[in-house]
Amino acid sequence: MGKFTKAGGREMPELNTSSLPDMIFAILFFFMVTVSMRTETLMVRHTLPTASEVQKLERKSLVTYINIGIPLDPRLGTGTRMQLNDKLAEISDIQEYIAQERERLSEADRQFMTVSIKADENTKMKYISDVKQALRKAYALKISYSARKGEN
């Protein structure tokens, strides 16, 4: 019976963690490659409308964003405003903004430039129509009405 008694304190085998940094680095690189950096802070609040037939926008570098909604800062009022880059802007600023954004793209990519309109679902269509007209004038004809995927 003595066979089963413990002869001495058994030592816990040490876990080899030398490959742990490598693993974490692998995850890190995965995230660095797959995600894009958050570029702008939103100054307007918007709840995107839902749609079931949405398509993913490919090639993020070709997409320009126009955010439309109510300013987060209550001092700026409760009217619908538009954010281009990092500041609030008026509809008359769109043309210049589009020209600037187009300038950043390479010659070959300019025709694929897409403007994504991210507007609050309670925005009045007058505002959207004005934006659309300004985009037409600026020859930014490829647009996308940004929407959340959902059943409606």
Partner 1 sequence: MAEKKKRKVPNLNASSMADISFLLLIFFLVTSSMDTDSGLSRRLPPPPQSEEQLQKMDVQRRNLMVVLVNYQDQIMVRTQAGDEWYNNIAEMEGKGGKVRLKDMVKEFVLNPNNRPDLPELIEEDFGPPIGKVPVTADHVISLQNDATTSYKAYIAVQNELVRAYNELRDEAARKYFGKAYNELLPEQQEQINKTYPQRISEAEPKDYKLGGGR
Q: Which of 5, 41, 52, 106 binds partner 1 (CB under 8 A)?
A: 52
Q: Which is nearer to partner 1, 51 or 105 (CB)?
A: 51
How far apart are the C-alpha atoms of 66 and 37, rounded to whole Å?
A: 18
How far apart are the C-alpha atoms of 48 and 52, rounded to whole Å?
A: 13
Question: What pairs with residue 69 in β-bridges?
Answer: 81
Residue 109's nearest CA partner among 64, 142, 62, 144 is 62
Site membership for partner 1, residue 51 (CB under 8 A) = yes
CA distances from 29 to 24, 26, 32 (A): 9, 5, 5
- Check: CB of residue 128 under 8 Å from CB of residue 120: no
Q: Which is nearer to partner 1, 104 or 137 (CB)?
A: 137
- Candidate segments 7-15, 89-97, 105-113, 142-150, binder of partner 1 by CB under 8 A: 142-150
Site membership for partner 1, residue 91 (CB under 8 A) = no
Smallest distance from partner 1 to CB 83, Å: 15
Q: Which is nearer to partner 1, 47 or 100 (CB)?
A: 47
Residue 145's nearest CA partner among 37, 6, 15, 49 is 49
Residue numbers at the binding site for partner 1 (CB under 8 A): 17-18, 20-21, 24-25, 27-28, 31-32, 34-38, 49, 51-57, 60, 63, 65, 114, 116-126, 128-130, 132-133, 135-137, 139-149, 152
